[in-house]
Structure 1
């Protein structure tokens, strides 16, 4: 069975059975009908995925690998904060009339900073260090920039990646590992989407830097299930997990800025039916 399914089932069961409720408290999100969107939540959830063993896509329902890769590249490669550069509508609710989500996500990735080696943005700095100083303990990104929060239409949820390189005990091969820090996550709608995005990112960066993909550690400060999602989650985690798919990344791409969603594929990806009509709190 897919290890990602086991992680997801155990996490959801723990949130529902042992989490705390925000019902009756002052909360920001609302449903489309204007009523408050309450959650059941767990603090400090940590999940680990060994990408050298399998790709962490759920089989309980399908995760659209090309769509989630497109959003990841929108942020990390295009460094855009305009939905007109994105091939889906998932950010439409937070965009202004011009399509901008403000100084959030991709905007922060394109800001250049002064380093001893010259001016670089955060993505280029990561790639530079992985190639020239792989054992550095300072390879990280952070898009939760306090001085710009007032100009963001949504504060970043997944806000930081820390990269760490290890050497294989049995060879000189290097392994790229990463920690994704997330302040908040809507588990039903976004959990596996984010996991797959950053698993793809690790695979891409490892390939262009001559490494192998290793562990992805996902740290979620506030992992929550919305009140109207609980019956959907109960149905989802009652399903029988299926074998994990095989991940394919175009081996001919050696420049991070040349990857497209078409360079990513999940082979033998068998899943249960998609859950439809999921209400989204905004």
Structure 2
């Protein structure tokens, strides 16, 4: 069994066994039929993944690796907020007629700020610091910008990254205010694991730990039987991760420069209801 599978199974079982139900409370999300979408949740879940040992893709079911990488590059590399620059349709519900999701996600990473060294956006600042001052304790990003929240079609879920170099390994803390465990957990883990590998490589470092902090880790009421079935499945060894060693510039990466080999999984879960 892969470590990612073991951690995911234990996390889901803990939420199911010890989580708090929001049924009857004032909640925002609704199902397509208009009824309120309640959850079972746990507060303050912290998961650690050592990327030097294995790549954390679930084998219980397949995580759409190519689409996940495309989205993380859309946010961090293209710094885009327009779904027309994204190949998948995961943001369609939140886009306006022009395809914009407002001043959210990639938009915030592309905003230039004044530093002592000059004008840089948050991504370029991270890359600069990892090259010039890698042992700094101030290497971080934040896209939860309060002054722009009213112009975001969805408030950021995964909103900050804190990078830390220890013994020539690049580690990072991903902070997430809220997460739909069934639909988004491993998707986000895979994305930020890839991002960490990419930034480590172009910074002359090795990938270390990804620490994922989730403030509100929840399973929606209509997802409970799906999660129970999922975590009862057979598991397989973790896949092998490949990253193109020739890429030395973060902005040169494409979805073809990373892949999962020997990725054996259980069947996909189809027609998962999504609360909006």
Sort the TM-score into its range (normalised by shorter chain): over 0.9
Alignment partners' CA distance in 1, 2:143 and 2:19: 28
Count of aligned pairs between the two proteins: 276
Tell me if 1:256 matches 2:230.
Answer: no
Equivalent residue of 1:183, what SS? strand
Counterparts of 2:28 and 2:50 in 1: how far apart (Å)?
35
Q: What does residue 108 of structure 2 align with?
A: 108
Q: Indicate the residue corresponding to 1:152 in structure 2.
A: 152
**For residues 53-81 of structure 1, what are the alpha-carbon distances to aligned partners after superposition, in whole Å with 9 as ceiling and x for unaligned?**
00000000001111100000000000000
Instruction: Say if 1:81 and 1:102, in contact at 8 Å, map to a contact too.
Output: yes
Are 1:213 and 2:199 counterparts?
no
Distance 1:17 1:70 in 2: 35
Q: How far has the Cα of 1:241 moved from its partner?
A: 1.6
Structure 1 position 264, deviation (Å): 1.0
Q: Counterpart in 1 of 2:123?
A: 123
Among 164, 170, 178, the residue aligned to 2:172: 178
Alignment partner of 2:46: what SS? strand
Separation of aligned partners in 2, 1:187 and 1:66: 20
2:52 and 2:86 map into 1 onto residues whose CA distance is 29
Contact persistence 1:65–1:264 (CA under 8 A): no
Q: Return the TM-score normalized by structure 1.
A: 0.97
Q: Whole-Å Cα distance in 2 between the matches of residues 208 and 65 of structure 1? A: 21
Moved over 3 A (4+): none
Q: Which string of whole-angstrom CA distances, capped at 9 and with x for unpartnered residues, describes residues 206-250 of structure 1?
A: 000000000000000000000000000000000122100000011
Q: Deviations over 1:117-154 (max 9, x none)?
A: 00000000000000100000000000000000000000
How many angstroms apart in 2 are the aligned matches of 1:114 and 1:243?
A: 46
Q: Following TM superposition, by how much is the alpha carbon of 1:10 offset from its aligned partner in structure 2, in angstroms?
A: 0.3
1:106 Cα offset (Å): 0.3
Give distance in 2, aligned partners of 1:14 and 1:241: 19
C-alpha RMSD of matched pairs (Å): 0.4
Q: What does residue 170 of structure 1 align with?
A: none
SS of the residue aligned with 1:108?
helix
Gaps of 5+ in 1: 168-173
- Distance of 2:64 and 2:198 partners within structure 1: 17
Partner of 1:11: 11
Q: Aligned pair 1:225/2:212, yes or no?
A: no
TM-score by length of 2: 1.00
1:1-282 equivalent positions in 2, closer than 5 A: 1-167=1-167, 174-282=168-276
Structure 2: how far apart are the matches of 1:136 and 1:64? 34
Work out the CA distance in 2 between the residues paired with 1:235 and 1:262: 33
Q: Secondary structure at the match of 2:55?
A: coil
Quick one: distance in 2 between partners of 1:137 and 1:239?
A: 41
Task: Measure, in 1, the Cα distance between the counterparts of 2:145 and 2:125.
Answer: 17
SS at match of 1:257: helix
CA distance in 1, matches of 2:258, 2:186: 16
